[in-house]
Amino acid sequence: MKKIKIAVGTLVGVCVIVLLYHTIKHRPSWITWPARNDDNAGVTPITDQPASNRLIDVAYRGRSPCNDVDCFVAAANRGDAQAQADLGWLYRQGRGVEKNIDSAVAWFKKAAAQGNRDAQANLGELYFAGEGVPQDDGEAFHWSQLAAEAGHVHAQTTLAWLYFDGKGTAKSETKAAQWYLKASEAGYPYAQAILGWMYSAGRGVDRDETKALYWFRQAAFAGNGDAQVALAEHYLQGLHVEKDRNEALRWYRAAANQGSPQAIEFLKKNNDNNSEAQ
Using alpha carbons, select from 136, 174, 173, 143 the residue that is nearest to residue 158: 143
Domain finish residue from 130, 151, 172: 151
pLDDT > 70: percent of the chain: 73
CATH, residue 103: 1.25.40.10
Question: pLDDT-based confidence at 268, cuts 50/70/90?
Answer: very high
Q: Are residues 56 and 144 in the same domain?
A: yes
Q: Are residues 141 and 225 in the same domain?
A: no
Mean pLDDT of 262-269: 94
Question: pLDDT-based confidence at 189, cuts 50/70/90?
Answer: very high
Is residue 10 in some structural domain? yes
Q: Are residues 1 and 86 in the same domain?
A: no
Lowest mean pLDDT among 6-10, 28-32, 94-98, 216-220: 6-10
Lowest mean pLDDT among 54-63, 97-106, 123-132: 54-63
Lowest mean pLDDT among 49-63, 123-137, 205-219: 49-63
- In the prediction, which pLDDT does 65 show? 56
Q: Are residues 127 and 84 in the same domain?
A: yes
Instruction: Check whether 5 has a pLDDT greater than 70.
Output: no
Question: pLDDT-based confidence at 274, cuts 50/70/90?
Answer: low
Instruction: Check whether 106 has a pLDDT greater than 60.
Output: yes
Domain finish residue from 124, 151, 178: 151
Angle of helix 209-221 relative to helix 189-201, nearest 10 degrees, comes to 160
Question: pLDDT-based confidence at 55, cuts 50/70/90?
Answer: very low
- In the prediction, which pLDDT does 69 show? 83
Q: Are residues 56 and 35 in the same domain?
A: no
- The rounded distance, in Å, linking the Cα atoms of 123 and 134 is 11
Is residue 157 in some structural domain? no
Q: Would you state the torsion angle of the CA atoms of residues 241, 247, 251, 254, taken in this order, to the nearest 10 degrees?
A: -160
Q: Are residues 10 and 53 in the same domain?
A: no
pTM, 2 dp: 0.77
Question: pLDDT-based confidence at 95, cuts 50/70/90?
Answer: confident
- In the prediction, which pLDDT does 72 show? 86
Is residue 21 in some structural domain? yes
Domain finish residue from 151, 174, 199: 151
Instruction: Check whether 117 has a pLDDT greater than 60.
Output: yes
> For 16, which DSSP code?
G
Q: Are residues 36 and 51 in the same domain?
A: no
Q: What is the mean pLDDT of the chain?
A: 80
Q: Are residues 198 and 246 in the same domain?
A: yes
Is residue 111 in some structural domain? yes
User: Between these two residues, 125 and 28, which has the higher pLDDT value?
Assistant: 125
Using alpha carbons, select from 151, 148, 152 the residue that is nearest to residue 163: 148
Phi and psi at 21, nearest 5°, equal -80, 145
- The rounded distance, in Å, linking the Cα atoms of 85 and 194 is 28
- In the prediction, which pLDDT does 131 show? 95
Mean pLDDT of 129-158: 97
Q: Are residues 143 and 119 in the same domain?
A: yes
Q: Are residues 221 and 240 in the same domain?
A: yes
Is residue 194 in some structural domain? yes
Is residue 197 in some structural domain? yes
CB-count exposure of residue 194 (10 Å: 0-12, 13-18, 19+): buried
> Distance between terminal CA atoms of the chain?
16
Using alpha carbons, select from 183, 187, 258 the residue that is nearest to residue 225: 258
Q: Are residues 51 and 146 in the same domain?
A: yes
Mean pLDDT of 210-215: 95
Q: Are residues 64 and 145 in the same domain?
A: yes
Is residue 179 in some structural domain? no
Is residue 181 in some structural domain? no
When divided into structural domains, the chain yields a total of 2
192 contacts: CB under 8 Å, gap ≥ 6: 183, 184, 215, 216, 218, 219, 222, 224, 227
CB atoms within 10 A of CB 51: 20
One-letter amino acid of 64 = S
The residue segments making up the domain with residue 54 are 47-151
Lowest mean pLDDT among 6-10, 127-131, 156-160, 218-222: 6-10
